[in-house]
Amino acid sequence: MQEQEKRTFNQTFEIRASDDTGDHVISGYAIVFNQPSEYMGFVETIDPGALEDVDLSKVFCLYNHDFSNVLARTDTKTLTLSIDKRGLAFTCQLPETTLGNDVFENVRNGNVQGMSFGFTVEKDQWSEDSEGNTTRTILKFDRITEVSLTCIPAYPETSVAAQRSYERYKRSQEKERFLLWLDLTEKENKMQ
């Protein structure tokens, strides 16, 4: 089973409040393509094709990744998601609850400025430049489980799954270098 990862970044929300119905609606982007993350031991970007054929029919909108703080969900149509050239756009109709009202007010006054998402990866690519800087490109998501409003901006925490994936990549690089060295050593021994 794949471990779920989470990413957080700064966000500019659009907010709408209807005086007639009391509806509070927020919108923005939950995922942005081709934007480098903050440094997490590596830098990460998301390929524009990463969401192709990903099932988005049961995604939750949460407050701070907490499933006891559900704000909306796609299967009830209180959360809508759409993919465009910039990323994964969302529109969330907040519930008329204490949490919904509090979140709306915190977004409106700027206390909540972050958007985050929980996911598993189907395919990624790791690379290292000549200076040893490592980049991970997410080529294909397996699942997007949730999008979250959060007050913690810009990838402040690295998930355990991301660190484990990075460690696997580093081990594979070491193994590759060792096998290359072993192959060269065998060839040298045969030449002698």
Q: What is the pLDDT of residue 36?
A: 86
The pLDDT tens digits of the residues spanning 110-137 come to 888 888 888 999 999 999 999 989 999 9
Nearest residue to 63 (alpha-carbon basis) of 184, 166, 159, 151: 151
Q: Domain segments of the chain: what residues?
A: 5-158
Q: What are phi and psi of 36, to 5 degrees?
A: -70, 140
Q: How many CB atoms lie within 10 A of CB 151?
A: 14
Report the predicted TM-score, pTM, of the whole model to 2 decimal places: 0.73
pLDDT digits (tens, 9 = 90+) for 19-67: 454 578 888 888 889 988 878 788 889 999 999 999 999 999 999 889 9
120 alpha carbon, distance to own chain's centre: 9
